[in-house]
């Protein structure tokens, strides 16, 4: 049951950032940058998968995500909640439970045997499907999942994530051009502000991270 009383969006963003910092999901390492899946370097890394091991924080953030979906998309906007393989699956299940909706999941690639399916569970033509994931960076992987959902004859008008990088230009516009609304709880800017306020990292580290957040391309070019 979702309570009718929840904090406003900016406070949800702050509390989500605080929770991610508290469970050690946020990593700032400008002196020894991380290598991302793209092969590019970054002084930041976030691991939202850690949430599944912290039941109290997990429950609060899933409540936040459910109420944000209702606020931004509507109370009767969806018929099915789909998780993206693999990180989105547990969060999709938790959101589906809160919204009293069926849950499915989308494979990254076809299964390779049997039905050779990308969709697992019961998804039917005409259903309005919400894609749930842990995070989005540039939105690229979301489009593959959305297209797989739409190939069933269902629609996918939105995706909901816990964390959105919020530092790359054109992401929301690209998703919108594909007919997908982006719903999220917090961004790197929310995390950086809360990290400064809480003293989670040194001022020097936060300053170095801010340089990256303001111009990721320039920062990465300087590191190559």
In a domain, 17, yes or no: yes
In a domain, 102, yes or no: yes
H-helix or E-strand containing 209?
helix 203-214
Segment-wise mean pLDDT, segments of 10 residues, the chain, 224 residues: 80 98 97 86 96 98 98 97 97 98 95 78 98 91 94 98 95 95 98 98 97 95 85
CATH of the domain at 187: 3.40.50.2020
In a domain, 3, yes or no: no
- pLDDT for the residue 110: 86
In a domain, 166, yes or no: yes
Contacts 24+ apart (CB under 8 A), 148-154: 148/106, 148/107, 148/118, 148/119, 149/82, 149/106, 149/119, 149/123, 151/118, 152/119, 152/123, 152/124, 152/125, 153/124, 153/125, 153/126, 154/80, 154/123, 154/124, 154/125, 154/126, 154/127, 154/128, 154/129
In a domain, 204, yes or no: yes
Domain with 157, as residue range(s), is 9-217
**Total count of domains within the chain:** 1
In a domain, 223, yes or no: no
In a domain, 222, yes or no: no
pTM greater than 0.75 (yes/no):
yes
- pLDDT for the residue 183: 98
- pLDDT for the residue 223: 84
CB 43 within 8 A of CB 209: yes
In a domain, 224, yes or no: no
């Amino acid at each position: 049951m979702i309570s009718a009383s929840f904090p406003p969006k900016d406070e949800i963003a702050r509390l989500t950032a605080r929770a991610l910092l508290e469970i050690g999901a946020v990593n700032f390492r400008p002196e020894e940058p991380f290598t991302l899946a793209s092969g590019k370097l970054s002084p930041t890394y976030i691991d939202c998968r850690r949430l599944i091991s912290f039941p109290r924080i997990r429950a609060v953030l899933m409540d936040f995500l459910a109420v944000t979906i209702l606020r931004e998309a509507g109370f009767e906007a969806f018929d099915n909640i789909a998780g993206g393989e693999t990180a989105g699956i547990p969060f999709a299940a938790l959101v589906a439970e809160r919204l009293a909706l069926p849950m499915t999941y989308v494979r990254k690639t076809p299964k390779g045997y049997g039905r050779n399916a990308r969709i697992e569970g019961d998804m039917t033509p005409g259903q309005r499907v919400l894609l749930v994931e842990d995070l989005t960076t540039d939105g690229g992987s979301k489009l593959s999942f959305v297209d797989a959902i739409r190939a069933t004859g269902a629609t996918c008008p939105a995706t909901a994530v816990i964390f959105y990088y919020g530092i790359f230009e054109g992401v929301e516009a690209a998703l919108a051009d594909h007919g997908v609304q982006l719903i999220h709880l917090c961004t790197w800017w929310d995390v950086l502000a809360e990290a400064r306020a809480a003293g989670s990292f040194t001022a020097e580290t936060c300053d170095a991270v801010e340089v990256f957040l303001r111009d990721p391309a320039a920062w990465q070019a300087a590191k190559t």
